[in-house]
Structures are given as C-alpha cells and as structure tokens.
C-alpha cells in the first residue's frame, strides 16, 4: 500500500435503514478502545430507507486524519454495494457479504460469503442481529477485538435486558468464529492488538457540544437541519445531567431570537443550523450586533444553493457568514480542522462572545461534523471560563446602570435583568442612547457605532491566533487550507513530495484574520514558488477573503464541489497537476 505503518480501510455499504451506523459505530469504538487510531466518515443519502449509503473506517497504529479511496475490507449488506465499490478494493482485500441477502454468489477469491442472516436466526433467534454477526465477522477476519465488542454490546443493549445482551454476544462470537474458520487467507492482515491504550472517539458535532457544555452554555435553541442536528441531539441527551434547556423551535427565526432572549436574561446560549436555516437567522444575527448580546452560532455547511445536497459536504457558506446581517457590527468566525480544534474553539467562542458582547460563529461542514477521530485526551486545563456578567454586588456605587455606557474599549458592563438589584437593563434594536432608549440624533449615532464596532475591532483582532504552519519552515510549496481540509492536507504533507520543501498553512480562526506580527504568513506565501489554496467549494471563497484583506493572490486554486470531501488520493492527484 506504499505506507510503512499498519493501516487498513474498511467500508460498510448498504441501504439506509440497514444499520450501517450501528455496525460502523461499534467497529470504530472497538478499534479506538483496543488502541488504534481511527478516522471515520459517512456518505449517505437524504432518505430514511433504501438508496445507497456507506460508513468508512480507517484505522492505524499511527495518527491519521483523513479518508482513503482504496479499501481493504468491504462489508456489503446489499448487492448494490458490491457493484459500486468492488473496483475500490485493494490487492489482497476482501469483500464480506451474505449470498442469501445479495441473491447472488461470487466465486472470485476476494469474496467471503458469510450467512449473516442465517447465523442471526440460528444463534440469536432474530434476523435483526445479522448486523452483530457482520460486526463480529469483520473483527474475525482481522483477528482482533472480540472482547472489546462484547463490552460495547453489553453497554448498548443493557437497557433491553439480559436476553438481548446474551444473544447479541453469541451472534458476535458466531460471526467472529465463522470468519476465522472460513478465511484462512485473512491471516495476511497480520494484525495484533496494539499495546493497550484507550483512545477517545469523537465527532466534530460532539466536540462542539461538549465544548459548549464545558463553557457553561445552558441554553440551546434550534430547528432540526442536517448536518447540524447532532449538536441539538447531544445537548438533549445531556440536558437532565447538566441542567440544560434545549428548545426545539418552530423555525430558525425563533431559534436565534430565543437564544438572544436567553442570553439577554443572563444565560450562556447557543443556536445551530445549516446554511438554509442560517439564511432565516440573518435578521436575528443583526439584532445581536445592535443589542450587543453575546451569542454563539454553529453553522454546519452543506452544499447549496437552496436545499442543495442535504446530507453532503461543502465549504460554500464562508462569504455568506462573513457578510450576513444588515448593518455593520463585529463578528468572529472560527472554522475548526479537527474535533479537538472544534472543542477548544467552541470554548473560545463563548469567551469572546461574552467578553466583547458579539456573535461568534463555529463554522464547519458535514464532513467534520460527522467524522469520528481518535485522541488520547483533550487537556481540560486549557479551557477558559470567565463570567463577564455583572450582578447586584458588582454594581455597588453605581447610581444609574447604563447598558450601553461609553468606554475606552467599547465594552459596557453586561448586567443581568432581575439579578442587578434595582438597576434596570434596557436593550434596543433601534439605535439607542447609553441607557438603551431610542434616539435618532447623529452625535449619539456616531458614538454608538464607534463604541460597538470601531473600538472593539482592534481588540478582537488581537485575540485571534495565527494560522498553523506544518511541514517545512521555509517552504517553496505552500498548501493552504481552512476548516475541515486540515486532516487531508496534513497527511499529504506527511506522505508526499518528500523531495520538495512543502508545508501546510491551515487557518481555523478565519475571521478576523490574525495580526501578522507573530507570524507573517503573507511573507511566507510571497517567499514560496507555489501557493495552492485548497477549498471544498467552487469559487475559492477563502482565497477571495485573503485577497480582500491582504491583497495577496494565491498562485493556484484547487476546488472540489461535488458534495464529497477530499480524500488523500484525490487531493494528491489534483496536486500533481501543479507539483
């Protein structure tokens, strides 16, 4: 496979509703628990039953951060999967299938026919457990992980009773043993369980949700929309444990206005959506700007325009998010490259939102949102929590509290209505005076624009971290990415063009751009021979942003706009056109 370390890619394909996520989720967890690094990604259609979906798992004894096109194992739950993905099988790879399900028998050596359904009926007394048989069989081929799988089955089915747990475990064992017995050639995988070390396995959405909870977010309002819904599901699953309010609203307009209402009333609040839902939120975004209400907004991009490709991925909303909202007000946009970055940037989003009383975006996409990554740990000591709200005791000595009092920083005290003693908190979407009441005179207007926009901007800019330079410190070839392309660009830098001076510059804190005193990335670009901006969109939106803000123009652009993420192979192929 041209790599020195152990790594395999496994793809599970079938129709929606066949349980791909159950199998894929269990396998990913097994690998991460026995000490492999895991990267998964999902490719599915916008339908609940039928069609064709797949769940891909790559695992390795080295850190990995992207998907491959070439498969070592294909677990086919229907005939369609075999027909579509057969061509992607690596030399020495295998296709697991059940000829009773596909109604067709394959005699070629790479095919292993395992009676998933029959074993499930014989051993588990229920054909539903065919998925457990298949999961066991996949592990049997590799010769690893049966104990870990048994534990996962116990955790998953505990609440359904002992009988179900017992039958699932029996099915997993039967599938495992069947594969061991009937695939002698599988020993070629040569896998052993690595030195025992548990990894955490987490998606971008979960990392955002956990980041929010660990930042003191107590209120999440949203309207379901792929691929953002997972954040709301995560919040709802933790609501009782951490005393969170999760509100499923009648529309996205209500979602953002509720989050604003909760934040105004003193609670850290967040909303989340995808591009179409965010379009409805734009008026509310402007309201946060005028009322200086702290707010964190997660915008999980999917390909547009309009309904677009609901379950697929694109980085097509960057300039929309950047320019959304009537009028002028400050905003910050983060676009994490990994779940770990998503976690810390969500925490930073809450910090900046409340410190500067502004909207802060966590912008991501379906690819990062739903991909699972493994990490040893997140260092929780790096989390920030400062409570910038003021209450009665903080206002002692102040005769009349003014919500929008002028200050040298543009930041006014953020009092909580009802918790500020007899002080009153007045917020207004009209232009207003320091107390928050409607005004129309030009003198006050000018002062207010200076206060909420011009004075805050340079301070906010100072908070932004420089982009990450990875690879050669004085590169001749620079691969530039933002957000979810981090992992694939990094692996390309790690494994390709070894004879060239190559580096990646990755932006995750994308707006405002960081000051260049700590790292002058523009100078680095100017000193390179080739600067290639890699984006999961058609028009090169990040390249436009860099040009608009700095005047620098990248020498080349790689755009992918088929609704799918870059894989290592297809990014390399694109790069070979220039390098």
Partner 1 sequence: MPTSEDYKGQIPAWCPGCGNYNILSTIKNALVELGIEPWEVLVVSGIGQAGKLPHYIKCHTFNGLHGRTLPVATAAKLANHSLNIIAVAGDGDCYGEGGNHFLHAIRRNSNISLFVHNNQVYGLTKGQASPTTAEGTHTIIQPYGVLQEPLNPLSMAISQNCSFVARGFAGDQEYLKDLMKAAITHKGFALLDILQPCVTFNKINTFKWYKDRVYKLGNDYDPSNQVKAFEKSLEWGDKIPNGIFYKHEKEIYEEGVPAIQENPLVRQKFSIEEVKYEIEKFY
- State the number of binding residues for partner 1 (CB under 8 A): 69
Q: In angstroms, rounded to a whole number, what is the distance separating the alpha carbons of residues 543 and 426?
A: 41
Least Cα distance to 523 among 576, 462, 466, 464 occurs for 466
Cis omega before residue 227 (within 30°)?
A: yes
Task: Assess 572 for contact with partner 1 (CB under 8 A).
Answer: no
Question: 514 vs 17, 70, 360, 384, 467, CA distance in Å?
Answer: 45, 38, 15, 20, 8
Q: CB of 245: closest distance to partner 1 in angstroms?
A: 5
Among 240, 396, 443, 517, binds partner 1 (CB under 8 A): 240
Least distance in angstroms from the C-beta of 229 to partner 1: 19
Among 100, 113, 233, 428, binds partner 1 (CB under 8 A): 428
Which residues are paired to 505 by β-bridges?
A: 469, 480
Q: How far is the CB of 267 from partner 1 (least distance, A)?
A: 4
Query: Binding residue for partner 1 (CB under 8 A) from 20, 259, 300, 349?
Result: 259
Q: Toward partner 1, which CB reaches closer, 192 or 198?
A: 198
Q: What angle do CA 87, 93, 97 make, to 5 degrees?
A: 80
* Distances from the Cα of 287 to the Cα of 271, 404, 437, angstroms: 14, 15, 15
Q: Which two tokens stand for residue 97?
A: 């299938």
Q: Are 479 and 575 in contact (CB under 8 A)?
A: yes
Q: Does 239 bind partner 1 (CB under 8 A)?
A: yes
Positive or negative, the Cα torsion across 74, 78, 79, 83? negative
Region of 71-79, 218-226, 446-454, 557-565 interacting with partner 1 (CB under 8 A): 218-226
Q: How far apart are CA 393 and CA 316, in angstroms?
A: 47
Estimate to the nearest angstrom the gap between the alpha carbon of 323 and the chain centroid: 22
Cα 294 to Cα 259, 272, 283: the distances in Å are: 9, 15, 15
Dist CA 112 CA 484 (whole Å) = 36
What whole-number distance in Å separates Cα of residue 406 and Cα of residue 404?
6
Q: How far is the CB of 507 from partner 1 (least distance, A)?
A: 26
243 binds partner 1 (CB under 8 A): yes
- Binding residues for partner 1 restricted to 142-181, rule: CB under 8 A: none
Residue 247 in the binding site for partner 1 (CB under 8 A): yes
Q: Which is nearer to partner 1, 141 or 287 (CB)?
A: 287
Of 128 and 424, which CB lies nearer to partner 1 in the complex structure?
Answer: 424
Q: Is 445 in the site for partner 1 (CB under 8 A)?
A: no
Beta-carbon contacts of residue 150 (< 8 Å; ≥ 6 apart): 169, 172
Report residue 396: phi and psi, to 5°. Answer: -60, 135
* Cβ-based nearer residue to partner 1, 437 or 445: 437
Determine if 386 is a binding residue for partner 1 (CB under 8 A): no
- Minimum CB separation of residue 29 from partner 1 in Å reads 9
Select the residue interacting with partner 1 from 61, 110, 419, 515 (CB under 8 A).
Answer: 419
Nearer to partner 1 (CB atom), residue 200 or residue 469? 200
Please identify, among the stretches 43-51, 116-124, 216-224, 523-531, the one whose residues bind partner 1 according to the rule CB under 8 A. 216-224
Q: Which of 88, 249, 496, 559 binds partner 1 (CB under 8 A)?
A: 249
Integer Cα distance of 410 and 405 in angstroms:
8
Q: How far is the CB of 241 from partner 1 (least distance, A)?
A: 8
SS in 3 state form for 475-501? CCEEEEEEHHHHHHHHHHHHHCCCCCC
The distance of closest approach from Cβ of residue 31 to partner 1 in the complex, given in angstroms and rounded to an integer, is: 13
564 vs 90, 120, 364, CA distance in Å?
21, 35, 14
CB of 213 to partner 1, least distance (A): 6
Report in angstroms how near the CB of residue 281 gets to partner 1 at its nearest.
11
Given 244, 297, 360, 369, the residue binding partner 1 (CB under 8 A) = 244
Residue from 185, 418, 529, 576 touching partner 1 (CB under 8 A): that is: 418
> C-beta of 279: minimal distance to partner 1 in Å?
16
Q: From residue 267 to residue 296, what is the string marking binding to partner 1 with x (rule CB under 8 A)?
A: xxx-------------xx--x---x-----
Site for partner 1 in 185-204 (CB under 8 A): 198-202
Work out how close the CB of 82 gets to partner 1 at its nearest, in angstroms, rounded to a whole number.
34
- The upper half-sphere exposure of residue 441, i.e. CA atoms within 13 Å in the direction of its Cβ, equals 6
Whole-number minimum distance, CB 427 to partner 1, in Å?
5
Judged by CB under 8 A, the residue of 108, 195, 250, 517 near partner 1 is: 250
Which residues, numbered 290-349, are part of the site for partner 1 (CB under 8 A)? 291
Unique residue bearing structure tokens 């030009």? 442
**Which H/E stretch holds residue 471?**
strand 468-471
Q: Which is nearer to partner 1, 261 or 310 (CB)?
A: 261
Pairing of strands 89-97, 111-113: parallel
Say how far apart CA 361 and CA 510 lie, in whole Å. Answer: 10
- Among positions 30-59, residues that touch partner 1 (CB under 8 A) are 32-33
Region of 486 on the Ramachandran plot (φ > 0 left; ψ -120 to 50 alpha; else beta): alpha
Give the nearest distance from C-beta 65 to partner 1 in angstroms.
Answer: 17
The residue ranges that bind partner 1 (CB under 8 A) are 32-33, 198-202, 206, 210, 213-214, 216, 218-219, 221, 238-240, 242-245, 247, 249-251, 253-255, 257-262, 264-269, 283-284, 287, 291, 377-378, 380, 383, 385, 387, 416-430, 436-438
């Amino acid at each position: 496979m041209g790599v020195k370390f152990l790594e395999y890619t496994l793809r599970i394909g079938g129709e929606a509703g066949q349980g791909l996520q159950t199998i894929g989720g269990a396998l990913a967890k097994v690998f991460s628990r026995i000490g492999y690094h895991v990267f998964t990604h999902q490719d599915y259609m916008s339908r609940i039953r039928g069609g064709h979906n797949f769940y891909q798992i790559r695992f390795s004894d080295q850190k990995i951060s992207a998907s491959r096109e070439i498969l070592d194992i294909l677990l086919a739950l229907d005939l369609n999967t075999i027909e579509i993905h057969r061509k992607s099988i690596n030399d020495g790879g295998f296709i697991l299938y059940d000829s009773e399900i596909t109604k067709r028998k394959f005699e070629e050596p790479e095919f292993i026919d395992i009676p998933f359904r029959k074993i499930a009926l014989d051993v588990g007394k229920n054909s539903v457990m065919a998925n457990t048989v298949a999961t066991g069989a996949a592990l049997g081929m590799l010769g690893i992980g049966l104990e870990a799988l048994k534990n996962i089955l116990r955790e998953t089915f505990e609440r359904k009773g002992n009988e179900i747990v017992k039958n699932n475990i029996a099915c997993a064992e039967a599938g495992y043993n069947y594969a061991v017995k009937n695939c002698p050639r599988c020993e070629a995988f040569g896998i052993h369980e690595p030195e025992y070390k548990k990894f955490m396995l987490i998606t971008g959405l979960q990392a955002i949700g956990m980041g929010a909870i660990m930042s003191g977010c107590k209120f999440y309002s949203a309207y379901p929309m792929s691929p953002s819904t997972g954040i709301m599901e995560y919040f709802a699953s933790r609501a009782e444990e951490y005393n969170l309010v999760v509100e499923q609203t009648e529309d996205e307009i209500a979602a953002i206005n509720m989050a604003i209402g909760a934040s105004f009333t003193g609670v850290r609040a967040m909303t989340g959506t995808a591009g179409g839902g965010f379009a409805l939120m734009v008026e509310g975004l402007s309201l946060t700007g005028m009322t200086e209400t702290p707010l964190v907004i997660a915008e999980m991009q999917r390909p547009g325009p309009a309904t677009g490709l609901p379950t697929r991925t694109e980085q097509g909303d960057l300039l929309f998010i950047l320019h959304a909202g009537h009028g002028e007000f400050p905003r910050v946009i983060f676009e994490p490259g990994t779940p770990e970055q998503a976690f810390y940037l969500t925490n930073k989003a809450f910090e900046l939102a409340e410190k500067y009383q502004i909207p802060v975006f966590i912008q991501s996409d379906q690819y990062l949102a739903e991909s699972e990554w493994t990490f040893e740990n997140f260092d929780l000591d790096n989390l920030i929590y400062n409570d910038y709200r003021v209450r009665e005791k903080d206002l002692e000595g102040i005769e009349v509290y003014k919500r929008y009092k002028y200050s040298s920083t543009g930041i006014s005290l953020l009092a909580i209505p009802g918790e500020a003693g007899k002080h009153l908190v007045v917020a207004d979407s009209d232009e207003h005076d320091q107390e928050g009441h409607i005004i129309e005179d030009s003198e006050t207007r000018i002062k207010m624009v200076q206060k909420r926009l011009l004075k805050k901007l340079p301070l906010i800019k100072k908070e932004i971290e420089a982009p990450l330079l990875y690879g050669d410190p004085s590169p001749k070839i620079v691969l530039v990415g933002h957000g979810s392309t981090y992992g694939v660009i990094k692996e390309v830098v790690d494994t390709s063009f070894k004879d060239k001076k190559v580096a990646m510059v990755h932006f995750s804190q994308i707006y405002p751009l960081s000051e260049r005193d700590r790292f002058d990335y523009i100078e680095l670009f100017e000193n390179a021979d080739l600067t290639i901006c890699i984006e999961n969109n058609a028009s090169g939106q990040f390249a436009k942003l860099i040009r608009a803000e700095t005047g620098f123009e990248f020498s080349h652009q790689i755009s992918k706009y088929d609704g799918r993420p870059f894989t290592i192979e297809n990014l390399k192929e694109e790069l070979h056109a220039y390098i």
